[in-house]
A and B are shown apart, each in its own frame.
Chain A
């Protein structure tokens, strides 16, 4: 089946690292994505990882993928107040067709001084 789960809330201190976790169910998923949504805005694509990779780093962002456990994480280094937003994990199952993304419920990241 298709299901993506995320914890709903994360609070971190400015300057610390944030780690947002996600589990997915469809082993056919070829690509996994992280999106950011700020209040009143659409979704901003942050990064993605191909399913045959274990890790991808992009500036302050590190994505780790454990394909065996179907676990994905997003680490934000040196978290800033501007990182406060909702973060969505999404999978693109092969069976779903080209552009059907399955999203998690989103993790609300709160950054405090």
Chain B
């Protein structure tokens, strides 16, 4: 069974630009969560989508947004990029229901803002 696929793997953007990252979850999984990983702050939860609805949100500015499509694929968008947005962005896929929702992560998208 295919794992979680994130595209692209690497991105270089300029300050002020916007970026869109994509995540395709494991087949049958309806929940997609996004995390930001930086050396200084570690792994931080951005938001979670389930059945096309944002179900949970972390403490990030409104420049960070996301959406989920009917096939459960998700995108996250960062507008007006800042240098501090340079990070590894990880997406996690899970069934989304039931008490134990094991989350399986993709390889991540490494975003560098220059």
CB within 8 Å of B: which residues of A? 30-31, 33, 35, 41-45, 48, 50, 88, 92, 96-106
Contacts and interface: CB of A to CB of B under 8 A. Distances in A.
Interface stretch (B64-72, B73-81, B104-112): B104-112
Interface residues of B, number: 28
A101 B42 CA distance: 12
B107 A99 contact: no
Given A97-B48, A98-B50, A31 B100 contact: yes
Interface string B4-39: 101000000000000000000000000101010000
B107 A41 contact: yes
Contacts of A43: 90, 92, 105
A75 B6 CA distance: 31
A42 B55 contact: no
Given A42-B4, A99-B103, 12 more contacts: A31-B100, A41-B107, A42-B105, A43-B105, A48-B100, A48-B102, A98-B55, A99-B31, A100-B56, A101-B92, A101-B103, A105-B42
A50 B99 CA distance: 10
Contact of A100 (B58, B100, B108): B58
Contacts of B6: 42
A99 B94 contact: yes
Interface of B: 4, 6, 31, 33, 35, 42-43, 45, 48, 50, 55-56, 58, 90, 92, 94, 96-97, 99-108
A31 B56 contact: no
B105 A44 contact: yes
Q: Which 7 A-B residue pairings sit nearest by Cβ, starting from the closest?
A: A97-B56, A103-B43, A43-B105, A42-B105, A42-B107, A99-B33, A99-B48
A43 B96 CA distance: 18
5 contacts: A30-B100, A41-B108, A42-B108, A43-B90, A100-B58
Contacts of B105: 35, 42-45
Contact of B42 (A33, A35, A44, A106): A106
Contacts of A98: 31, 48, 50, 55-56, 96-97, 101
Given A42-B90, A43-B105, A100 B33 contact: yes
